[in-house]
Amino acid sequence: MREEGFSETVAYIEELKNDIKSLRESLKPQKAEIKQTEKEIAKLEAKKVAEVAKKVETEAVLKKLLASGMTADDVLKKLK
């Protein structure tokens, strides 16, 4: 009777091991996808930071030109 319970326990443990192995295998592609998505997010965040910096720089140059006496029309002409 005890051996029967022991055999069932061993079989159950083996089944759990197989389930864990299967879950680990299915987790690998998910981890890879998460890593790729994180890289894409980092690129987009860097691009956004660069755009904000460019906007700030452009505004500073525009303010400097206007403060130096240049009119908005003069600035627009230079941009063309």
**Residues found in the chain:** 80
**Residue 37 has what DSSP assignment?**
H
Q: What percent of the chain has pLDDT over 90?
A: 72
Cα first-last separation, the chain: 94
CA 35, distance to chain mean position in Å, is 8
Task: Give the best-scoring range by mean pLDDT among 5-9, 16-20, 58-62.
Answer: 16-20
Q: Could you list the residue range(s) of the whole structural domain that residue 60 is in?
A: 2-79
Please name the helix (run of DSSP H) or strand (run of DSSP E) that holds residue 71, with its range, or none: none
Please tell me the total count of domains within the chain. Answer: 1
- How many CB atoms within 10 Å of residue 65? 15
State the chain's mean pLDDT as an integer: 92
Question: How far is the C-alpha of 32 from the C-alpha of 49, rounded, in Å?
Answer: 26
